[in-house]
A and B are shown apart, each in its own frame.
Chain A
Amino acid sequence: MEIFVGYVLLCGTLLSAALLIAGLLWRWRVAELPELHYAIAGTNLFQFLISNLHQIRQATFHPQFLVNLGIAVLLMTPYLRVLTSMIYFAFVERNAKYTVFTGFVFAVLTYSLFLR
């Protein structure tokens, strides 16, 4: 279990880092410095993720897109980690107690991510 959860975390952080580095390097090519100054409008995580993915369809690319995606992936990593743990407790370890405990955390977390 631990190995799998560890790899979910590792993949999430590496992907996030790769996206951020790519975004900053792109910015460096376009501008003088690898610095970005912009704001994210008030939103919740799921909306943020979806609006970024929409950009792929519309093919409007800026370095901001990669940076936004990198941040979104970072934020999704703990969320996916909890989900993975829940599935593992439920189907692999068949541990009812911890499926419920993890499920509770997952539910509360999901609720918090929909807040606006």
Chain B
Amino acid sequence: MMPYSLLLPTSVIAGFVGAMSGMGGGVVIIPALTFFGLPIKKAIAISIVSVIATSSGSASAYVRDHLTNLKVGMFLEMFTIAGALLGAGITVGANQQALFILFGLILLGSWGTLFLRRHEEWTPAPRQDGFSHWLELQGSYPDKALGKTIDYRAERAYLGAPLMFGAGLVAGLLGIGAGALKVLIHDLVMGLPPKVSTTTSNLIIGVTALAGTSVYLAHGLIDPGLAAPVILGVLLGSFLGTRLLVRLHNQTVRHFFLVVLAVLGLEMLIRGLRGL
């Protein structure tokens, strides 16, 4: 079993990575815990609890910094949470290995797309479709790196919504990964600036993770002795992460996400191929 002296710093790193990338930190926590022999289901349970910690911890800062777009988050969350519950429900009959491989390929494919565009600076959408406008998905945020307020308009909500349902489905089936897909959808499909994509994802993954936690709580898979130090480490790490992200340029945030995305994609692929 993983010594506590390693558990705490690992969790801090997970929280930091999570807060900076819009994901939950499971990309760090799950391999660390399973490496030290924890059964995968318990590792996922701890990871999901840590996602709630990352989410609440970082969102508490990002929301007050006016980076998160609450409306985009809540609108898309309807679809994500429905997908997540459905995914968790049908997980019994699903072929997990194939799903991990497929998910890994999707993530790496998305990584490729984003990687090819990595030198493109984010620019505001020239116009917004009627549906997104009706949904009031426009906003602005103070950018500390640029020293001014940036206006933006989210678009293609009609596409973002069903894709978010898919993202939720995958997260429910695999117990991980909603954050990565959310950031990708926010960024590539809906045209949100990277800082808003990441911080909005951070807010929402907590809700999705909470829906998933119930299953693990019901099966008695959450080990509080492990969860306690992990939560504390993750909260500290995510707090540190938020202080850094607000000072970075959008491009840097996107590049960081690219790195974590690649790692996650490879992890998923390896898990599928190894049969975990």
Contact = CB atoms under 8 A, between A and B. Distances in A.
B64 interface: yes
B228 A24 contact: yes
Interface of A is mostly: helix
Interface string A32-69: 01111111111111001000000000000000100110
Q: Which 8 A-B pairs have the closest CB atoms?
A: A6-B64, A9-B60, A36-B225, A6-B63, A10-B60, A42-B220, A78-B206, A112-B211
A85 B74 contact: yes
Contacts of B49: 71, 74-75
A19 B81 CA distance: 29
A71 B210 CA distance: 12
A35 B225 contact: yes
Give the residue among B59, B74, B78 with the most A Cβ atoms within 10 A: B74
B229 A24 contact: yes
Interface of A: 1-3, 5-7, 9-10, 12-13, 16-17, 20-21, 23-24, 33-45, 48, 64, 67-68, 70-71, 74-75, 77-79, 81-82, 85, 95, 97-98, 101-102, 104-105, 108-109, 111-113, 115-116
Instruction: Tell me what chain B mostly uses at the interface: helix, strand, loop, or mixed.
Output: helix
Given A9-B60, A71-B49, A74-B53, A97 B135 contact: yes
Given A13-B53, A75-B210, A82-B207, A2 B218 contact: no
